[in-house]
Structure 1
Amino acid sequence: MKAPALFLAHGSPMLAIEDNTYTTFLKKLGEGIRPQAVVIFTAHWMTRQPTVSAVEGTYDMIYDFSGFPRELYEVVYPARGSVEWAERVRERLGGAAEVAVDPTRGLDHGSWVLLHRLFPNADIPVVQASVVPWWTPKQLFQLGEALRPLRDEGVMIIGSGGTVHNLMALRWEGHAEADAWAVAFDDWLLSRSAAHSEEVFDYENKAPYAKQAVPTPEHLAPYWIAYGAGSRDQAPRVLFREYQYGSLSLMAVSF
Structure 2
Amino acid sequence: MTRMPTYFISHGGGPWPYMEDMRARMRVLEEALQDMPRQVGTTPSAVLVISGHWEEADFAVMSHAKPPMVYDYSGFPAHTYEVVYPAPGAPALAQRIESLIHAAGLPSHLDPHRGFDHGTFAPLVVMYPDAQVPVLQVALKAGLDPAIHIALGRALAPLRDEGVLIVGSGQSYHNLRMFGPQARQPSNAFDAWLQDTLLHSSPEQREARLVNWAQAPSARMAHPREEHLLPLMVALGAAAGDAATCVYHEEGIFGGVTASSFRFDAAAT
Partner residue, 1:104: 113
TM-score (norm 2): 0.86
Deviates more, 1:118-127 or 1:63-72: 63-72
Partner residue, 1:66: 74
- CA 1:128 to 1:111, structure 2 compared with 1: closer, same or farther past 3 Å? same
Q: Secondary structure, in 3 states, of the residue corresponding to 2:136?
A: strand
- Amino acid corresponding to residue 79 of structure 1 in structure 2: A
Partner residue, 2:225: 216
How many residue pairs get matched?
248
TM-score (norm 1): 0.91
Distance in structure 2 (CA, Å) of the matches to 1:245 and 1:109? 18
Partner residue, 1:43: 52
RMSD, matched Cα: 1.8
1:192 to 184, 197, 203: 197
Distance in structure 2 (CA, Å) of the matches to 1:75 and 1:44? 18
1:203 to 191, 213, 217: 213
1:237 to 238, 241, 245: 245
Q: Secondary structure, in 3 states, of the residue corresponding to 2:177?
A: helix
Q: Tell me whether 1:3 sits opposite 2:21 in the alignment.
A: no
Deviations 1:109-129 (A, max 9, x none): 111001111111111111211
Deviation above 6 Å: which 4+ runs of structure 1?
none
Distance in structure 1 (CA, Å) of the matches to 2:96 and 2:28? 35
Partner residue, 2:185: 180
Deviates more, 1:98-107 or 1:7-16: 7-16
Deviations 1:120-166 (A, max 9, x none): 11111112111125232111111101111110111100101112100
Q: Tell me whether 1:92 sits opposite 2:97 in the alignment.
A: no
Higher helix proportion, which one?
Answer: 2
Distance in structure 2 (CA, Å) of the matches to 1:180 and 1:35? 38
Give 1:138-153 correspondences, 5 Å limit: 138-153=147-162
Identity %: 33
Cα displacement (A) at 1:193: 3.0
Deviates more, 1:191-200 or 1:88-97: 191-200
